[in-house]
Amino acid sequence: MRSDLPPKIVTIGAAFSANKGAASMLQAVIDNVEIVLRGARIVVLTTYPKQDRIENPNPGVEVVSLTPRELVFPTFPLAILMFSSRLFGYRGRVFARTRALRELLDARVVADLAGISFSDGRGIPTLIYNVLMTGVPLLVGSPVVKCAQALGPFESLLNRLAARLVLPRVSEIVARGEGTLMNLSRLGLKKVTPGADLAFLMDVGEAAGVEALRVVEDLGGRPFICISPSSVLRGYCRRDGIDYVEHMARICDELVSSFDLDLVIIPHSARPGRPESRMNDIPVCLEIASAMKNGSRVTLVDRSISPAALRSLIGHSVVLVTSRFHAMISALATSTPAVILGWGHKYEEVLDSFGLKDWVIPYRALPDLDLTERVDRAIRYRDEIARQIAAHLPEVESQSAVSITALAHVVAQQARPVRE
């Protein structure tokens, strides 16, 4: 590494485009980089290089391609050759034939920003991706911090073996929630610290506020409810024989008829022009809006907007209705009441920190759900809920900073090899 270059932090597992929850965690690292390493530059290894270069709002932050296909080949085989070189005391730079590998080789620390990894039931392709995403930096010899995320459970044999292979070699793991702590303790891992989601630390500047207000400028200042549907939850509903679009459209119609409020439907994961996927809520948002009987008071966002603008938009709403985890985080970060249709323990774990876990409704209740009573209660007690969130927020933000502290700790402790 050239000594005249500024020190480098590399991120992996999050992008500026597609999943805005991951983008908010990525932005939080960028916003707090000076705490980790003064004068550092950040390099983002991304699965969406073309779109990320468009959506990256940070001058000086570099975007480098590392798609799943590139990760499998040639990155992984070359990383194995680099690991073999390290066994003989060399760093193996001669095998760093891709830009991503060269960036990893020179990183002072790698921030792994996967929201969830090594979790049962997510399929073999996802597990392979988890192993390679975290494993390649380890093979290269770069210290890795798994920033606050959910891990486990590890009941399936294949997932447990993969986790035992990779996770003990990570420099530090920040566990998001008691469930993850319990899962990791069963693996006997030592370098684990509890911490809240990184996204709480994302800055929301004036530009984001302007972007958010443009979305709702046609409302002329009228109050609104934010609806953030989830393609992920639609998949769970489909598996259980529940028509997610039909029931969400019914709920939206009921909200419009019950309250003198507009609805703003937002995709919290967005890949415009692409089919629906876990990373793209736009198609399901369109379907819900089209299935409504009364769409006259609906504003539909059918494009990608920044995570900071999404947070600002949610903060301007009267109440949020969502199944997207990081939409819920934005509601909490802005002291906005939220009604959650949940599909896992992660929602309750976070809301419990604010004394609000009763606001999560299991998604299987959707067919018979009358959401108007919950929303009415959220509106009537809005100020009280906001005060309750605000009272707990400083402690949660302090816990969110644990990931930043872990990155700084690894940077301070690491020793660099001397032979190339």
Q: What is the C-alpha to C-alpha distance for residues 114 and 99, in angstroms, rounded to an integer?
A: 21
Average pLDDT over residues 144-165: 97
- Residues 100-121 pLDDT 10s: 999 999 999 999 999 999 999 8
CATH architecture of 8-195+399-413: 3-Layer(aba) Sandwich (3.40)
Q: What pLDDT band is residue 94 in, cutting at 50, 70 and 90? A: very high
Average pLDDT over residues 147-151: 96
Q: Could you tell me what percent of the chain has a pLDDT over 70?
A: 97
pLDDT of residue 343: 87
3-state SS of the chain is CCCCCCCEEEEECCCCCEEHHHHHHHHHHHHCHHHHCCCCEEEEEECCHHHHHHHCCCCCCEEEECCHHHHHHHHHHHHHHHHHHHHCCCCCHHHCCCHHHHHHHCCCEEEECCCEECCCCCCHHHHHHHHHHHHHHHHHCCCEEEEEEEECCCCCHHHHHHHHHHHHHCCEEEECCHHHHHHHHHCCCCCEEECCCHHHHCCCCHHHHHHHHHHCHHHCCCCEEEEECCHHHHHHHHHCCCCHHHHHHHHHHHHHHHCCCEEEECCCEECCCCCCECCECHHHHHHHHHHCCCCCCEEECCCCCCHHHHHHHHHHCCEEEECCHHHHHHHHHCCCCEEEEECCHHHHHHHHCCCCHHHEEEHHHHHHCCCHHHHHHHHHCHHHHHHHHHHHHHHHHHHHCHHHHHHHHHHHHCCCCCCC
User: In Å, how far are 191, 204, 292, 307, 318 from 207, measured between CA atoms?
Assistant: 39, 8, 33, 12, 21
pLDDT of residue 91: 87
Whether the per-residue pLDDT at 192 is higher than 70: the answer is yes
Q: Could you tell me what percent of the chain has a pLDDT over 90?
A: 92
pLDDT of residue 2: 46
Whether the per-residue pLDDT at 420 is higher than 70: the answer is no
Whether the per-residue pLDDT at 416 is higher than 90: the answer is no
Q: What pLDDT band is residue 219 in, cutting at 50, 70 and 90? A: very high
Of 218, 13, 223, which is closest to residue 136 (Cα–Cα)? 13
Average pLDDT over residues 369-395: 96
- Residues 121-136 pLDDT 10s: 889 999 999 999 999 9
What mean pLDDT, rounded, does the chain reach? 95
- Residues 1-48 pLDDT 10s: 445 568 999 999 999 999 999 999 999 999 999 999 999 999 999 999
Q: What is the C-alpha to C-alpha distance for residues 380 and 375, in angstroms, rounded to an integer?
A: 9
Q: Do domains 8-195+399-413 and 206-380 have the same CATH topology?
A: yes
Whether the per-residue pLDDT at 227 is higher than 60: the answer is yes
pLDDT of residue 140: 97
Whether the per-residue pLDDT at 415 is higher than 70: the answer is no
- Residues 56-80 pLDDT 10s: 999 999 999 999 999 999 999 999 9
pLDDT of residue 190: 87
Of 14, 129, 145, which is closest to residue 76 (Cα–Cα)? 129
Average pLDDT over residues 323-329: 97
Whether the per-residue pLDDT at 319 is higher than 90: the answer is yes
**Structural domain boundaries of the chain?**
8-195+399-413, 206-380
Q: What is the C-alpha to C-alpha distance for residues 103 and 112, in angstroms, rounded to an integer?
A: 14
Whether the per-residue pLDDT at 249 is higher than 90: the answer is yes
Q: What is the C-alpha to C-alpha distance for residues 128 and 132, in angstroms, rounded to an integer?
A: 6
Q: What is the C-alpha to C-alpha distance for residues 27 and 308, in angstroms, rounded to an integer?
A: 9
- CATH fold for domain 206-380: Rossmann fold (3.40.50)
pLDDT of residue 419: 53
